[in-house]
Amino acid sequence: MANHVLLNSVEHSDIRVITQRGDKYGDNLWFSPTFVDEIRSVQAHYPIVFHKDQNSAQFTPVALFGFEQQENLFLESSKWSANYIPLSVQRMPFFIGRQDVTTDGVTEQQRVITLDIDSPRVSKTQGVELFLEYGGNSQYLEDIAAILETLHHGLQGNDNFVNALISLNLLEPMTLDITLDNGANHKLVGFYTINEDVLNTLSSDNIVQLHKAGYLQAAYLILASQVHFNDLVALKNKRVAQEE
């Protein structure tokens, strides 16, 4: 279980973060959230689908890395084979937290960086330093802060994107049946996708509405990304052959 602590240069001056990739560092992810402004980069490498949270019923666009839990087919030894890694993965083991700050008697919440201190990426002997020897953030930590800020605003914007799709009946459940080279069958269920037939028959007013919001291109890019299901199948066949 994650153990989030408020990052600071006093208590964590000797902390390093291992940036190497691998299952043992928590990269065995089935999928990871993305957002509208990142979809162009993500769709060049991964299929994008929508995941529905069973508790909140909220939909989130996600980059898909495998066909089952704890399966990331893009991991090869200590390397991530795709040229782009989603920001929600890049930021690990850092998260955005909130802290109450009182100024002139007025208390407001400010965003702060938290660290999962129990993450296997956290070390005192290996990895990249977070703080400079004589004070100040390392360039790595500055980059992480920028990623977290972009991710925060991007994921917040997903609500409006998803609500626009739902209002136009553009989301539908999907099922993907695949047969591997060794004859094994796999079924991908529980995700949602863009209903292309509905998208292609939207009224001109609705098309303009989506375009002005920046959502029309995102919808078509999500559909285009599904060509990468073929890549996932090829990666799955390769991994199964290696294991056999």
Band of pLDDT at residue 167, cut at 50, 70 and 90 = very high
What element of type H or E holds 144?
A: helix 139-167
Q: What is the CA radius of gyration of the chain?
A: 20
Long-range contacts, stretch 230-238, CB < 8 angstroms, 24+ apart: 232/47, 232/64, 232/66, 232/67, 232/73, 233/178, 233/180, 235/73, 235/74, 235/81, 236/66, 236/67, 236/73, 236/178, 236/180, 236/186, 237/180, 237/181, 237/182
| E strands in 120-184 | 122-123, 128-129, 171-179
Cα 115 to chain centroid distance, Å, stands at: 17
The pLDDT score that the predictor gives to residue 156 is: 93
| Mean pLDDT (whole number) for 67-94 | 94
**What is the pTM (predicted TM-score) of this model?**
0.92
For 170-201, the pLDDT digits (tens) are 999 999 999 998 988 888 889 999 999 999 99
CB-count burial class (<10 Å; 0-12, 13-18, 19+) for 194? buried
Confidence label for 103 from pLDDT (cuts 50, 70 and 90): low
| Residue 102 pLDDT grade (very low, low, confident, very high; cuts 50, 70, 90) | low
219 closest CA partner among 69, 82, 43, 26: 43
**Looking at the predicted structure, is the pLDDT value of residue 133 above 90?**
no
Q: What is the mean pLDDT of residues 81-104?
A: 87
- Return the closest-CA partner of residue 130 out of 148, 120, 115: 115
For 193, the token pair is: 């996708």
**3-state secondary structure at position 60:** strand
What integer pLDDT is reported at residue 10 of this predicted model? Answer: 86
Q: Chain-centre distance of CA 187, in angstroms?
A: 22
pLDDT in tens, 121-132: 999 999 999 998
For residue 63, what are the β-bridge partners?
A: 32, 48
190-232 pLDDT tens trace: 999 999 999 999 999 999 999 999 999 999 999 999 999 999 9
Q: What is the pLDDT, as a whole number, of residue 104?
A: 63
